[in-house]
Each structure stands twice: as C-alpha cells, then as structure tokens.
Chain A
Amino acid sequence: MNALIVGCGKVGTELARTLVNDGHNVSVVDTNEKALASVSEAIDIFPVPGNGADINTLRDAGIDTADIFIAVSHSDELNLLACLVAGSVSERLKTIARVRNPLYSKETDFLKSKLGLSKIINPELAAAAEIYKLLQFPALSRIDTFAEERAAIFTMSVTAGQSIEGKSLQEIGSETDYNILVCAVERNGEVTIPSGSFVLNDGDEISVVASMSQMKMFLQTLGLRSESAKSCLITGGGTIAYYLTDMLLKSRRQVRLIEINEGRCGMLSEAFPEAEIIHGDGTDKSFLLKQGLKYVDAFVPLTGIDEENIISATYAKNVSEAKVITKINRTDLNDVMDELHIDSAVFPKLICADSIAQYVRAQSMGLGGHVETLYRYLDNRLEILELIANDDPELTDIPLMELGSRLKDNVLIACIIRGDSFIIPSGKNVIRKGDSVIVVTTHSGISSLHEILA
C-alpha cells in the first residue's frame, strides 16, 4: 500500500517506521526539512518538504497513487484541512486525522461524517482510556482488550512467594481450572513464547490471555488486588488529565488533581465540580505528601515534562503503596523504564501510532481473514493480533493438532472467541469461519490469518 503521512514528529516517525517495516511505501510531508532529513536517514521513506495542506506538495508526495492519508502534524486544524484537501483528490483515499483538542473531539462523529474522514485519532483520549483501564486493575502493568472487551491480555510481574512462582506452565494449568494462557514471557530483556515446560521465575514479566471474568479470579487467587483504585491523585492538569478525570468521575471515583497554573485550575474546576482541584506544584515532595500521597490508591503524574513525571513516580513508589502510572511523551525511553520499577508507563505517541498502524493493517484485507485488533508489546518485539477468520480451506475446520506443524515458528494461537464462548485451544479445537482468533507472534507485519501458516 502507498501511505502518505503529514508531520514527522514523534507519532509520524513511529508510524512511518511501522508502516515501512510492514512493507508499505511511505511518503512523509513536513515543513521542517531538518527533521525530514534526519527521519529519512533512519527510515526508508520518501521525504517531501512542504505544507501538508498544499495540493502541490501533496502531488509531489504522490497523493494520486496513495491509498491512505494520515495527518499527524502538531496542529489539529492543519490535520483536518490536509485531510479535506487530500480527500478531494480521490474518493477511495482513506484519510486519518489526529485531533486532540477536547472541543473538537466531542464532535468526532460529526467531523468524521462531514469531512469524509475514515478515522479520527485522539492520542490524549486514548492515553487517558489506557490509564483508566489500568486503574481498574492496579495489579497489572498493562491490559488490552479484545473482542469487544470480552477477552483481555494482561501483563504482570511474577514475584517471589506467589503460588505460580517456580512452577511450569503445565503444572499451573493442571493445578488450577482457570481457563488462562501464558502467551509470552520477558526475562532479562529476552522475549519468549513459552512452551508447557517453561518454569516461571521471580522477576519474569508474563503476558496472559484470559476472559475478563477468569482474569479477575486468577488475580484473586494470586492474592493481588482485583478491585479498582477508589481514589486517585493526579498531578498536571493537561489534556490527558482532563479526559482521565472525566472518566474517573463518571465511574464515581475520588479525584484530586494538582495543577500549577491558577487559570487552568479555574477552568478545570468549572468543568469538573465533583473533583478536588488543588492549585500548587505537583513536583514538590512535601506538597504531595500533604495532599495524601501516602494513603491514595493510585498516583498518576501527568505533567508535560517526562523527567518530572519519572522522578515523582519513583518517589511515590518509595513512600506509598499506591499504584503509580505515569505518562512518557518521548518514545525512546521504553528500555530505561523497565529499570525504574514504576508500575506502568503509558506512551501516548506509541498508542497513537499503534492504533493507526492497526487500522492500516486492517485495510490490507488478505486471504483467510483480516486484522481486527493489533497490540504491540515489549518494544514492538511481540505482536498480539485479533484476526477474524474467513473461509480458508488450508486453515478453517482443521484440528489445531494437524495445523500445528504448518504454523510459522514463534506463532501461538492463544485463544479462539466464538460468539460468547472463550476457548483456550487444545489440539482438538478447530478454527471456524467468523471466529475471532488471538494470535501471539514475534513476526511483524501479519495482516491476515492465512499468514500465520509457514
């Protein structure tokens, strides 16, 4: 496919990298020639300097042959205008705009239909949703859902003394009657898709596929907190904080938000009468303690500066039992975050790039079903896909036992969701047409179920 990206900031770059790795032809338009040059040094793209809403620039970038148009420049208005201009060139062009202003994003559906957009992506809203999900399951470091939230894949660390520590996956499976599957383990920076004889150790990060109800039961048996955080302390009243507060208040949690700008405090208080908006410096330690950092269920630093978020998060881990979730704008700090023992970190730029990549992959419909959902784990070394099965004589209605030898290496069929039933597959199960199949793999770029075959 030919993709055209407007804007080569963090999201644009990450997106270009993903799309090029998936085998698409990518042109990137940006007014900043320096930034373009440095991106094209690292990624095999076609750099086109210029304004993304200028039709001549877009022509240079190959809008006439493009299949997908993604506007992720820093300005909402430019993104919308660029999509409008691009959309006028051809009917079949799919246009995606990043729109982050809460004012516009309330009107998402209206904008989409009136401007003929295929998708509007709001990274702040997506990040807030991610944090909200994590606050519901404080024991997890990451959770993603599939099949309309009926199934989940969650990541947690194994600690000494837990009942699963020191046991092989087979033993865990036979001792408990939970329907769960450990589908990936990260140990010392290495990612493996484990076999039944794999023994879990202290410090392993495991990713588990389960239905929502099974997941809660599993967490309870491990003695982990399975109920959501009731109170939440947020520092920094930016856009993510705005969306997150909105979500938390709607589900009747207690929210205390610290913001340094008095005017912004007023605006937030106007929008959220039930929240406690505190005017003050959220990076000041004694101030944080005064605001009850020790006793809060969850602490979420969301200031605009990554470094301050990381420092407050580390501090909070030392003085409090709270679940700590922070947000990191930079995309290159993934590795460092593992060292810091912060419960969870959310990368809005990566969420945004991932969700567009997922959309693009779903567009390239292949034989044997298409991509419904795509999550990338552990620095993109692992992909977890929800694929919808089509009729495929080489795949459907064949027992997995027989299929097993024909799969690619490092491909795991983690679960099959058929209607309301959630199946952790054994050798006898088959994939039927219309099933949602969750596939875990270290291969990148799978865009249809057929591609899991070797």
Chain B
Amino acid sequence: METAIVIYIIGLALAIEGVLMAVPALCALVYGESLMPFLWTAIICFLIALAFTRKRPDSGFLFSREGYVATALTWIALAFTGMLPFLFSGSTTSLADAVFETVSGYTTTGSSIFPAVEELPKSILMWRSFMHWIGGMGILVFMLAIVPFSGGTQMNIMRAESPGPSISKIVPRAQDSAAILYKIYTVMTAGLIITLVALRMPVFDAICISFGAAGTGGFSVLNTGCATYTVAQQIVITVGMAAFGVNFSFYYFLTIRKLGLAIAMEEVRWYFIIIFAAIALISVDLIRAGLYASGAMAVKDAAFHVSSIITTTGYATTDCNLWPNLSQGILILLMFIGACSGSTGGGIKVSRLLIMAKAYKRELAVALHPNIIKKVHMDGKAMDENVLRNTGAYLFIYFVIFTASVLIVSLDGFDWLTTFTSVASTYNNIGPGFGVVGTMGNFSELSDLSKWVLSLDMLIGRLEIFPIMLLFTKNTWRRF
C-alpha cells in the first residue's frame, strides 16, 4: 500500500467538499438562514485537507489497489464530514441518523430518517439534494476532471468509483473523459431545472428535484414527495429520471454525432424495453384493480414509479403500499435490475444481467456440444472473459451481503416486506421500499444498528461492492 497517495487523494476530495459547501451556504444566504453549519463544516474540511495534502507524495503512482482503497476511504470520509451540517444545524442529534442521511445523500439513495422534511431549513434540504448531484457522478471523477494526475492513476480511481462491470474512458485522456462526463451531466441537469421552472415549479423545488433526479437520488423537499406537483411537472420528472439512468457514453456518442454507435448499445436498448414492459404491465394491473378512475392517470403513475425505481431514484407520487401485488412485485424486481452501467443509477445494472443471460445461453450451448468454443458478444464485440468472471463473482457476493443485511435488519421485528425492501432499497440506492419504509413512510423507526448496517449497504451498493470489501481484506494492507 502506498499510503501517502491515498491520504493525499482523500485530502483533495475533502478540500473539494469544503468548496462545495458554498452551494448550501448560498441557499442559506438567500433564505436568511444560519450560515454557520456550512461555514464550520467547510473549515473542518479545509483543516483536514491541509493536513492531508501538505506534501504531494513523490511517487505519484497509484495502482489499482490504492485506487480502490482511496475511493472507499474517501467516501467514508465524505460521509463523516458531510453529516456535520445536520448536526451543527440541530436537524438531528443522533450520529447514526446524521450518517445515515449523509450516506443516503452521497450514494444517491434518498432514504430519509426525517419524518417531516418541510420543517428542516431550506439550506439543509439544498445540501441533501446537492449531495445527490455530487455523488451521482462521483466526487473523485469530479476531482479527476479538475486536478491533473500522472499516468494510469486516473483510470484506477475512475474504475473504482464509476458503476458498471467494465469501465473505459470515452476519450484518450482520463481528465478529458471526466470533464466530458461532468459537462453532459451539468447540461442535462440545467435543462431539467429550466424545464421545471418553465412549468411553474418553484425555483427551489425545481433545483432540488433536478439534483435528485440527475444523481438518481430521491430526497424530496415536500412531506408528500412529488404528489402535489402538476401532471406536466410529474411527466417531465419521469422523463428526466429515465434519461439519467442511461449510460452516459450514449449521450457522448450523440454529441459527437455517432448515432450508429449510440443505437448499437444493447444495454440501453434493453433498459428501455424493460421500462416500457414494466409500465404496460403495471398500468394494466392498476386499471384492473380499479384504483384509478382514468386509464391515463394510471399510466402516468405507473410510468413515474417505474422510471423512479429502475433508475434507483426513489421519487413517489402516490403510496405504493396500496398497489396490487403484481405491481408491487414488478417494482421490487426493478429495484434489483437497476439502471445502465456508466449512468448515475444504482442496482445490479442492466448490463450485468444481460451478460449473465448471455453466459447462461452459452452454457446451454456447451451442454449440447461440450467441445464448442463460444465467445459472449456484447454490442457486436466479443467480450473479455474477465468481465464474465467478475460479473459472476459480483452477483454471488451481492446476494451474500444482501442476505446478511436482511438477517440483521430482521432483528428490529418489522414485517418481512418492510425488512426485505428496506435492505433492497438502500443496497440498490433507491430510497423508499414498502411497508413502514414505503413511499410515504421513512426510515426513522429503525434501530441504530439497522441504520448503521443500511448505511454500510448504501456505500457498498454505490461503490459496487469491491472497493469496500477490499478494506476488509488483509492482503490489501500488506506492503508486499
């Protein structure tokens, strides 16, 4: 382990976090609220950053091990510094709650321990939503975009922080790649804000909701979630959420006018197939159950929730606990599927499921012709066997952690639907589940133990397991 460079990177990330405090601070100024929570947090961030970055390590090299460790530790450090505004502002006094809320923010989960968010200061609400936006694309990717690093350093960080089974740069320079991603991200977010404001949503709501949709987070600013927004606004949010669940390479190909490459992306195609199939099934189910007077409203709510869950955002317009079983079942399924790799969404990712489906097909062929040599193809290219191997192992450990978490949370004694979906929705970075933690409920009733476990689950889910698990591996910490 090259500890020096890891510490240096954590320091840089904290410095950036300190600067980012300016956003909620600005909001506090506008609404005449106290600046102090953000000022103190920024000062603490800068002090730690100063200590950590005092000297730039000589060996600028950062191998894949250091990349993973730096990413994991950075996120943990962000969780413990990002929670300070909650404590300083007195929004909560419990450490477990503050950490849970912060991790939920950064990992773009959107599960909240606040029963009534409207009572919170506007600047705190802004900070919650802004964490979604930063966490969506990743603070380290942001760092890569603005701080030059040497050699292969960048890729080892980018790979550790970006979701998906195989991460590659979109242009030769990692720094340019990171900058392009953030450019696309910023432009799309701005577009969403402007559209919502044009549809007469209050500016504050529009900004927070757009940050949440862009990062596929899901903190809302009203106690009722998105239920009181107009139909037009809800439709725009639906489309917006779905757009941020698409692999960002898709948008890059569009901007450089390579339509062919964009259309060839199998993952994106399947992502939309799944969305439309789920909307159709749930709409029919809702209408059949007689919950909606008009078919159009049923389709609107179905679309909103499908888009919200598959992208792992977690906004809601209605209480899904009242929905029929099939609809709930489909939504729970979507929780696990998740968005595309290379997007801001969480979950297992469409690409991983696609890869495993193809691997399964190959196994069938091997069963029929034991000597067959068959490569798995994706986007018209033969896939690297390493990605297949990695995906298999990923799914295994994914379900091991899931099961263990469910068992621990079950100690709280809630019904199984609550227990199961509280883990599913935090682990996949969605937000609400069903039962007590449903779309109109929250996580405040869970025990502290469950909150800590779920906080860890959110981090593990956002960073896609391996970075966090490596922290608990003895060999990671050996020099040799």
Over the window 380-396 of chain B, the binary record of Cβ atoms lying under 8 Å from chain A Cβ atoms (1 yes, 0 no) is: 00001000000000000
Which of B63, B152, B171 contacts A40, CB < 8 Å? Answer: B152
Contact (A25, B155) CB under 8 Å given A33-B384, A46-B169, A46-B171:
no
B154 touches A (CB below 8 Å) = yes
Contact (A40, B384) CB under 8 Å given A25-B171, A25-B173:
no
Which of A33, A42, A45 contacts B172, CB < 8 Å? Answer: A45
- Chain B residues positioned under 8 Å from A44 (CB to CB): 151-152, 154-155, 172-175
A25 to B176, CA, bound (A): 9
A2 touches B (CB below 8 Å) = yes
Which of A2, A27, A41, A62 contacts B155, CB < 8 Å? Answer: A41
Residues of A310-369 whose CB lies within 8 A of B:
none
Residues of B56-95 whose CB lies within 8 A of A:
63-64
- Chain B residues positioned under 8 Å from A183 (CB to CB): none
> Contact residue range for chain B?
10 to 19
Q: A240: shortest Cβ distance to chain B, in Å?
A: 31
Over the window 1-36 of chain B, the binary record of Cβ atoms lying under 8 Å from chain A Cβ atoms (1 yes, 0 no) is: 000000000000000000000000000000000000
Number of chain A residues whose Cβ lies closer than 8 Å to a Cβ of chain B: 14
Interface hub of A2, A46, A62 (most chain B Cβ within 10 A): A46
Residues of A240-265 whose CB lies within 8 A of B:
none
A20 to B175, CA, bound (A): 12
A115 touches B (CB below 8 Å) = no
Inter-subunit contact B384/A27 (CB<8 Å): no
Inter-subunit contact B176/A40 (CB<8 Å): no
Inter-subunit contact A43/B173 (CB<8 Å): no
Residues of A30-71 whose CB lies within 8 A of B:
33, 40-46, 62
Residues of B169-186 whose CB lies within 8 A of A:
169, 171-176
Inter-subunit contact A40/B155 (CB<8 Å): yes
- Chain B residues positioned under 8 Å from A62 (CB to CB): 172
Q: Which residue of chain A is the closest to B153 with respect to CB atoms? A: A44
Q: Which residue of chain A is the closest to B384 with respect to CB atoms? A: A33
A27 to B176, CA, bound (A): 13
A45 to B175, CA, bound (A): 11
A44 to B61, CA, bound (A): 12
- Chain B residues positioned under 8 Å from A40 (CB to CB): 152, 155
- Chain B residues positioned under 8 Å from A45 (CB to CB): 172
Inter-subunit contact B171/A43 (CB<8 Å): no
Contact (A46, B172) CB under 8 Å given A41-B152, A41-B155:
yes
A62 to B152, CA, bound (A): 20
Inter-subunit contact B152/A42 (CB<8 Å): yes
Inter-subunit contact B152/A43 (CB<8 Å): yes
- Chain B residues positioned under 8 Å from A26 (CB to CB): 172
Residues of B118-176 whose CB lies within 8 A of A:
151-152, 154-156, 169, 171-176
A33 to B174, CA, bound (A): 19
Q: A19: shortest Cβ distance to chain B, in Å?
A: 10
Residues of A1-26 whose CB lies within 8 A of B:
2, 20, 25-26
Which of B156, B172, B174, B175 contacts A2, CB < 8 Å? Answer: B172
A46 to B177, CA, bound (A): 10
Q: A211: shortest Cβ distance to chain B, in Å?
A: 39
Q: A278: shortest Cβ distance to chain B, in Å?
A: 47
- Chain A residues positioned under 8 Å from B173 (CB to CB): 20, 25, 44
Q: A8: shortest Cβ distance to chain B, in Å?
A: 13
Q: B170: shortest Cβ distance to chain A, in Å?
A: 9
- Chain B residues positioned under 8 Å from A46 (CB to CB): 169, 171-172
Q: B10: shortest Cβ distance to chain A, in Å?
A: 22
- Chain B residues positioned under 8 Å from A2 (CB to CB): 172
Q: A153: shortest Cβ distance to chain B, in Å?
A: 29
A257 to B63, CA, bound (A): 46
- Chain A residues positioned under 8 Å from B174 (CB to CB): 44
Q: A394: shortest Cβ distance to chain B, in Å?
A: 27
- Chain A residues positioned under 8 Å from B152 (CB to CB): 40-44
Q: B156: shortest Cβ distance to chain A, in Å?
A: 8
A62 to B63, CA, bound (A): 27
Interface hub of B63, B154, B169, B175 (most chain A Cβ within 10 A): B169
Q: B107: shortest Cβ distance to chain A, in Å?
A: 28
- Chain A residues positioned under 8 Å from B384 (CB to CB): 33
Q: A194: shortest Cβ distance to chain B, in Å?
A: 25
Q: A361: shortest Cβ distance to chain B, in Å?
A: 18
Q: A16: shortest Cβ distance to chain B, in Å?
A: 10
Interface hub of B63, B172, B174 (most chain A Cβ within 10 A): B172
Q: A179: shortest Cβ distance to chain B, in Å?
A: 40
Interface hub of B152, B155, B171, B176 (most chain A Cβ within 10 A): B152
- Chain B residues positioned under 8 Å from A20 (CB to CB): 173
Inter-subunit contact B176/A42 (CB<8 Å): no
A170 to B384, CA, bound (A): 63
- Chain A residues positioned under 8 Å from B63 (CB to CB): 41
Q: Which residue of chain A is the closest to B152 with respect to CB atoms? A: A41
Which of A25, A27, A33, A42 contacts B151, CB < 8 Å? Answer: A42
- Chain A residues positioned under 8 Å from B155 (CB to CB): 40-41, 44
Q: Which residue of chain B is the closest to A17 with respect to CB atoms? A: B151
A42 to B169, CA, bound (A): 14
Q: B378: shortest Cβ distance to chain A, in Å?
A: 14
Q: A4: shortest Cβ distance to chain B, in Å?
A: 9
A260 to B288, CA, bound (A): 89
Q: A363: shortest Cβ distance to chain B, in Å?
A: 17
A42 to B59, CA, bound (A): 13
Q: Which residue of chain B is the closest to A41 with respect to CB atoms? A: B152
A66 to B420, CA, bound (A): 53
- Chain A residues positioned under 8 Å from B64 (CB to CB): 41
A62 to B175, CA, bound (A): 17
Q: B35: shortest Cβ distance to chain A, in Å?
A: 40
Q: B264: shortest Cβ distance to chain A, in Å?
A: 12
A40 to B152, CA, bound (A): 6
- Chain A residues positioned under 8 Å from B156 (CB to CB): 41
- Chain A residues positioned under 8 Å from B171 (CB to CB): 25, 46
A33 to B382, CA, bound (A): 13
A239 to B151, CA, bound (A): 34
A43 to B152, CA, bound (A): 5
- Chain B residues positioned under 8 Å from A25 (CB to CB): 171-173, 176
A33 to B384, CA, bound (A): 10
A62 to B384, CA, bound (A): 21
- Chain A residues positioned under 8 Å from B151 (CB to CB): 42-44
Q: B172: shortest Cβ distance to chain A, in Å?
A: 4
- Chain B residues positioned under 8 Å from A27 (CB to CB): 172
Q: A97: shortest Cβ distance to chain B, in Å?
A: 21
Q: A37: shortest Cβ distance to chain B, in Å?
A: 9
Q: B283: shortest Cβ distance to chain A, in Å?
A: 41
A171 to B7, CA, bound (A): 50
A41 to B151, CA, bound (A): 7
Q: A319: shortest Cβ distance to chain B, in Å?
A: 41
A46 to B169, CA, bound (A): 7
A41 to B172, CA, bound (A): 13
Q: A331: shortest Cβ distance to chain B, in Å?
A: 16
A44 to B172, CA, bound (A): 7
A41 to B174, CA, bound (A): 12
Q: B64: shortest Cβ distance to chain A, in Å?
A: 8
Q: Which residue of chain B is the closest to A65 with respect to CB atoms? A: B256
Q: A416: shortest Cβ distance to chain B, in Å?
A: 34
Q: Which residue of chain B is the closest to A4 with respect to CB atoms? A: B172
Q: A438: shortest Cβ distance to chain B, in Å?
A: 29
Of the A-B pairs whose beta carbons lie under 8 Å apart in the complex, a sample of 22, sorted by A's number, is A20-B173, A25-B171, A25-B176, A26-B172, A27-B172, A33-B384, A40-B152, A41-B63, A41-B64, A41-B156, A42-B151, A42-B152, A43-B151, A43-B152, A44-B152, A44-B155, A44-B172, A44-B174, A44-B175, A45-B172, A46-B171, A46-B172
- Given A33-B384, A40-B152, A43-B151; 19 other pairs, CB 8 A cutoff: A2-B172, A20-B173, A25-B171, A25-B172, A25-B173, A25-B176, A26-B172, A27-B172, A40-B155, A41-B152, A44-B151, A44-B152, A44-B154, A44-B155, A44-B172, A44-B173, A44-B175, A45-B172, A62-B172
Nearest 10 A/B pairs, CB to CB: A46-B172, A25-B172, A41-B152, A42-B152, A42-B151, A44-B174, A26-B172, A27-B172, A44-B173, A25-B173
